[in-house]
Amino acid sequence: MSRPALLSLDDALLQLLAHAQALSRVQTVSTFDADGRVLAQDVVSALHVPPQDNSAMDGYAVRAADCVQAGAVLRVTQRIPAGAHGTQLSAGEAARIFTGAPIPPGADAVIMQEECESLDGGTHVKIGKAVSAGLCIRRSGEDVARGAKVLAQGTRLTPAELGLAASIGLAQLQVAARPRVALFSTGDELVMPGDVAPEAMPPGAIYNSNRFFLRAMLMRLGCEVTDLGIVPDNREATIAALRDAAQHHDLILTSGGVSVGEEDHIKPAVQALGELNLWQLAIKPGKPVAYGRVNRKADGQADACHFLGLPGNPVSSFVTFLLLVRPFVLALQGVTQTDIARTALPAHFDWPRADKRREFLRVKRNAQGGLDLFPNQSSGVLTSAVWGDGVVDNPVGQTIAKGDTVHFISFAEWLT
Amino acid sequence: MSRPALLSLDDALLQLLAHAQALSRVQTVSTFDADGRVLAQDVVSALHVPPQDNSAMDGYAVRAADCVQAGAVLRVTQRIPAGAHGTQLSAGEAARIFTGAPIPPGADAVIMQEECESLDGGTHVKIGKAVSAGLCIRRSGEDVARGAKVLAQGTRLTPAELGLAASIGLAQLQVAARPRVALFSTGDELVMPGDVAPEAMPPGAIYNSNRFFLRAMLMRLGCEVTDLGIVPDNREATIAALRDAAQHHDLILTSGGVSVGEEDHIKPAVQALGELNLWQLAIKPGKPVAYGRVNRKADGQADACHFLGLPGNPVSSFVTFLLLVRPFVLALQGVTQTDIARTALPAHFDWPRADKRREFLRVKRNAQGGLDLFPNQSSGVLTSAVWGDGVVDNPVGQTIAKGDTVHFISFAEWLT
């Protein structure tokens, strides 16, 4: 009747991230193809953005001193489309100007065309309101100043960062190489979809589903995934699969085979090839998780491949991936900030049973801004993760009453 | 001094979605590769998941009637690993059982091994607590019942849905074809990063940045993107580019060239080839947006390619993409639910100036659970979208005081 001590999620994550040294491999990619990748260098701007003061509007560039009152009539002496540049603007003059075009010397404001009236076939313009200096001018360097660090090493790139890098002229970016992850499942009961039709499934057999979402989530996180399939439930096959995978991968990820049941062959196999820490985490779902290292050479541990073993229950596998594997593979790419945003939202449900483990309850935001609970929180039920759009991170020993404020994590934040 | 009437965002979106008929092309893809795609069929389960009652734990299957009190000693008569199946369990007997293994006939509960004590070399077991029927049993069909619709046509697939589809044996899924989107920018002032070094940029020139984030966002939404580059600021080139693009695409997306400035050639070109609606939206950033259709054949409008024109300012382009193009390209794939989740959060800033347009203020969640405002909300400043992790959707005419509850939209929700 031994009961292994439970490890807290925070302690497990700390231990895990201490092992997740950033990989040294970097890669140069087109800025077009850098979405989701992690910067391997600081990005410093070689220029001002915008490069010079320019017009924020289609309209007329003027000297504010000429327009202290509404109704000023100015002579239109030049025309500056975007891409062109103007000449000196003298007193009493206006320049027809378009969005993005540089402000001509002498001008200090732009008035939008909707507030102007073109006169005498366009040779003059009547300015409809009083104008103050600086109006509708985008200042040189307003977006980015020359020499400024605009993006830091370790930043995970999203579309906005690609745009910013392009705006300072960068056609290529140095990014961390994709972590190479070998993925497999263990369990003789597992059958691959397509191999056996539903009506022909033998008793005890179940379809493998974990590899489908684990692979998709790894790819969303920038990993290169090798799918090694289902490894038979015996020690020799497992050792052979692990040894082979270690040679060409940074991480071996498995689901199943890490609980304390004696039918699991993953544990002795990893132990034979390196080292293994078996954790019973104080979280629900997702208790058994293992971290280890598989040596690449027979003579020592200097060169080893990471090993992470997730539980076999689909929801446990899904949740432990997001809590532990996600920050781990991001850290392998040099991401320093792997925390996930939590939002305080009202529970629109009761959760009367306190648990001694920290719970991640599958919930969905409703139209009233609150959270509804999926009725079946069993860890085998993957529909909860499909129905829900996130989880409540519920502390140890905490009950929830309708109206209580709880910590919500959106799947979108985790999966982006 | 004409001032065109402003259209509300909601009205524009309604008009836009009325045009966005789902494309009829479908495609069969491996479930492994279906992440982010949209289901073109309902998915109905041909089996129960799990297929039979099975053990949620490694432990012992028992008859609850034998264990009404703690301390019962039972004879261990069989052993059922996952993938195997057991035989009839009689009174006074227990079966060693492992997670996922089917419950043997006669047994009605499982007790986890941590609460048992193996006796006499494993021939007997002492059950550490009283056991009630149903304990630690996962019921057949608990996750999915045979005949149930588990996923509806129009669902956008995420990793969890792939797992669920796999768990009912689906190796392939029917999904909507990727919308084919032709992307280009207009503006003689635009230079592609890499074509000219920062120190050699001529006056008035700026780097094109919009195509980088627009392309990345389209790809995140499942589109197949053709990059047509920067089209010169003249009517003939623009007409030629549009006519050509319309032949092989579902949507032409441009940035720049849709404001009321006379230097824009997009408008007359689309009008010459089909029809165009120019909108001045009551939103900030992002005022000028155009929707139109480009006929594929000279003789009529029956067969036309959609056209969407976004403003050229980077932030305007970014925000109008998320507000309008995102739901549009999802609707082309048959997604019926394109709304985005808003969360009520406290503003940790003041916004004293009410605007007559609905504003999308770039903000960042802070460690205290509130929102900080990016100081420069100018629409040319793309750094606001990099610094921020979302926007506040601020109604027309609304000021914000520190502590007020505002509507936050996370970029993660928009970009997933």
Q: Mind listing the pLDDT tens digit for each residue in A145-163?
A: 999 999 999 999 999 999 9
**A203 with A275, same domain?**
yes
Dihedral, B49, B55, B56, B62 alpha carbons, nearest 10: 140
CB contact under 8 A, A138 and B318: no
Residue B399 sits in a domain whose CATH number is: 2.40.340.10
Q: Residues of A with CB below 8 A from B259's CB?
A: 58, 99
**A298 with A164, same domain?**
no
Mean pLDDT over each residue of chain A, to the nearest integer: 92
pLDDT score, position B380: 64
CB contact under 8 A, B162 and A128: no
Alpha carbon distance B323, B178 (integer Å):
20
Q: Distance of CA B358 to CAs A99, B107, B235, B372, B395, Å?
A: 22, 64, 33, 19, 5
**A185 with A328, same domain?**
yes
pLDDT score, position B202: 86
Q: Which helix (H) or strand (E) holds A33?
A: none
Range of the domain at A261: 9-24+178-332
Instruction: Work out the average pLDDT over A119-132.
Output: 94
Q: Which of A279, A306, A332 is the last residue of a domain?
A: A332
Closest residue in chain A to residue B2, using alpha carbons only: A114
Task: Give the burial class of A161: count Cβ atoms within 10 A of its Cβ; 0-12 exposed, 13-18 middle, 19 or more buried.
Answer: buried
**A315 with A360, same domain?**
no
**A195 with A287, same domain?**
yes
CB contact under 8 A, A49 and B171: no
Q: Which of A44, A78, A164, A211 to mutate to test the interface with B (most CBs of B within 10 A)?
A: A164
Q: Which of B146, B164, B173 to mutate to test the interface with A (most CBs of A within 10 A)?
A: B164
- Give me the residue from B142, B227, B381 closest to A376, CB to CB: B142
Give the A:B interface size as CB pairs under 8 Å.
345
Residue B116 sits in a domain whose CATH number is: 2.170.190.11
CB contact under 8 A, B159 and A213: yes
Instruction: Work out the average pLDDT over A175-185.
Output: 95
Closest residue in chain A to residue B204, using alpha carbons only: A83
Alpha carbon distance A213, A221 (integer Å):
12
CB contact under 8 A, A169 and B381: no
- Give me the residue from B198, B262, B410 closest to A413, CB to CB: B410
CB contact under 8 A, B35 and A219: yes
pLDDT score, position B129: 93
Instruction: Establish if A143 belongs to a structural domain.
Output: no
Lowest mean pLDDT: which of A123-132, A396-405, B370-379?
B370-379
Shortest distance, CA B143 to any CA of chain A (angstroms): 5
**B359 with B266, same domain?**
no
Q: Residues of A with CB below 8 A from B149's CB?
A: none
Instruction: Establish if B402 belongs to a structural domain.
Output: yes
Instruction: Establish if A337 belongs to a structural domain.
Output: no
Q: Which of B176, B205, B236 is the last residue of a domain?
A: B176
DSSP string, A327-389: HHHHHHTT-S------EEEEB-S-B----SSEEEEEEEE-TTS-EEEPS---TT-THHHHH-S
Closest residue in chain A to residue B377, using alpha carbons only: A143
CB contact under 8 A, B189 and A49: no
Shortest distance, CA B70 to any CA of chain A (angstroms): 13
This model of the complex carries an ipTM of 0.89
Task: State how many domains chain B has.
Answer: 4
Instruction: Establish if A2 belongs to a structural domain.
Output: no
Instruction: Establish if A144 belongs to a structural domain.
Output: no
Instruction: Establish if A171 belongs to a structural domain.
Output: yes
> DSSP character for B104?
P
Instruction: Work out the average pLDDT over A366-385.
Output: 87
CB contact under 8 A, A83 and B382: no
**A121 with A193, same domain?**
no
- Residue A74, amino acid: L
Q: Mind listing the pLDDT tens digit for each residue in A327-364?
A: 999 999 999 889 999 999 999 999 999 999 999 999 99
> DSSP character for A6?
P
Helix runs in B60-209, H state only? 159-167
Residue A163 sits in a domain whose CATH number is: 3.90.105.10
CA angle in degrees (0–180, nearest 5) for B141-B147-B153: 115
Q: Residues of A with CB below 8 A from B3's CB?
A: 114
* pLDDT exceeds cutoff 50 at A104: yes
**A62 with A112, same domain?**
yes
Instruction: Work out the average pLDDT over A375-388.
Output: 84
pLDDT score, position A1: 40
Alpha carbon distance A100, A87 (integer Å):
16
For chain B, 416 residues long, the average pLDDT of each consecutive 10-residue run is 76 96 96 98 92 89 95 95 87 92 94 93 94 92 91 97 95 98 86 93 86 97 93 82 93 83 75 92 92 86 88 92 98 94 95 95 95 85 90 97 97 93
pLDDT score, position B1: 40
Shortest distance, CA B89 to any CA of chain A (angstroms): 17
Shortest distance, CA A36 to any CA of chain B (angstroms): 9
pLDDT score, position B378: 76
**A191 with A318, same domain?**
yes
At how many degrees (to 10) do helices A159-167 and B210-220 cross? 160
* pLDDT exceeds cutoff 80 at A171: yes
Confidence at A380, pLDDT banded by 50, 70, 90:
low
CB contact under 8 A, A163 and B213: yes
Residue A222 sits in a domain whose CATH number is: 3.40.980.10
pLDDT score, position B259: 65
* pLDDT exceeds cutoff 90 at A387: yes
CB contact under 8 A, B163 and A213: yes
Q: Which of A289, A310, A332 is the last residue of a domain?
A: A332
Q: Which helix (H) or strand (E) holds B149?
A: strand B149-151
CB contact under 8 A, B219 and A35: yes
**A228 with A257, same domain?**
yes
DSSP string, A124-189: EEEE-S---TTTTEEPTTSSB-TT-EEE-TTPBP-HHHHHHHHHTT-SEEEEEPPPEEEEEEE-TT
**A255 with A393, same domain?**
no
Alpha carbon distance A181, B74 (integer Å):
45
Instruction: Establish if B146 belongs to a structural domain.
Output: no
CB contact under 8 A, A142 and B318: no
**B40 with B166, same domain?**
yes
Instruction: Establish if A160 belongs to a structural domain.
Output: yes
Cβ pair B255, B190 in contact under 8 A: no
